[in-house]
Amino acid sequence: MTDRNSKIAVVTGAGSGIGRAVSAELLRHGWSVALAGRRAGTLEETAALVPEGAALPVRTDVSHPEEVEALFTAAVDRFGRVDLLFNNAGTFGPGGVPVEELPYEAWRHVVDTNLNGAFLCARAAYRRMKEQDPRGGRIINNGSVSAHAPRPHSVAYTATKHALTGLTKSLSLDGRPYGIAVGQIDIGNAATDMTAGMRTGALQANGGVAPEPVMDVADVARTVRHMAELPLEANVQFATVLATAMPYVGRG
């Protein structure tokens, strides 16, 4: 079965949170979406949010090169091409652990997922986008406001999100000859399971704990769709979407 009438997206981390919201937003607006994530059951739940949508759940661990290649092969086999990669899969790692106590295995898991996984998916997308007809496509990397300023005890997550900014810039430059547009969305306090604790209290830079406002994840999804639906001659290089009153800009 193929569907060549709509734009084709690959969304990683599609089984929950931002990835689920973006996948549903795209499906509701006529996109076909390959849903990637580590748990098949949650991917099926995402697909069921838009029963009439063209969704393809593909169980994928983005830190494994062979699984990433299988994901993109499945997407092209089903839909014929890849127009968009939303590089969203990520993990914060163990919360509240000082750097001197962070196990190397935990550091490596965050790096393998957030950075190596993003590279592997971008590489696979590049290979398809360069060869398909018409050529080109778009990659949107999910950064974070941690790509600008860290939270306490977030060394692995923050380091990978800073690295994603470099990845975005390099991919954007290298994609120019092939009609591949690459941008990044940095998100602050979208209401998901990952941020649920912020409404009751989050550790602040001064050592205190304070509740923080969050925003509807649907606002993030609409922003990603706007970026995705621009013509390839236009690109949102960097966008920051955050809860208006969160303690980020200035001194908190």
Residues 86-120 pLDDT 10s: 999 999 888 778 999 999 999 999 999 999 999 99
**Residue 160 identity:** T
Q: Which of 104, 126, 157, 178 is catalytic?
A: 157
**Residue 228 identity:** A
Query: Can 178 be counted among the known catalytic residues?
Result: no
Integer Cα distance of 16 and 192 in angstroms: 8
Integer Cα distance of 221 and 185 in angstroms: 11
Integer Cα distance of 200 and 213 in angstroms: 10
The pLDDT tens digits of the residues spanning 35-70 come to 999 999 999 999 999 999 999 999 999 999 999 999
Low-confidence ranges of the chain (pLDDT < 70): 1-5, 194-196, 199, 251-252
Q: Which CATH class is domain 8-242?
A: alpha beta
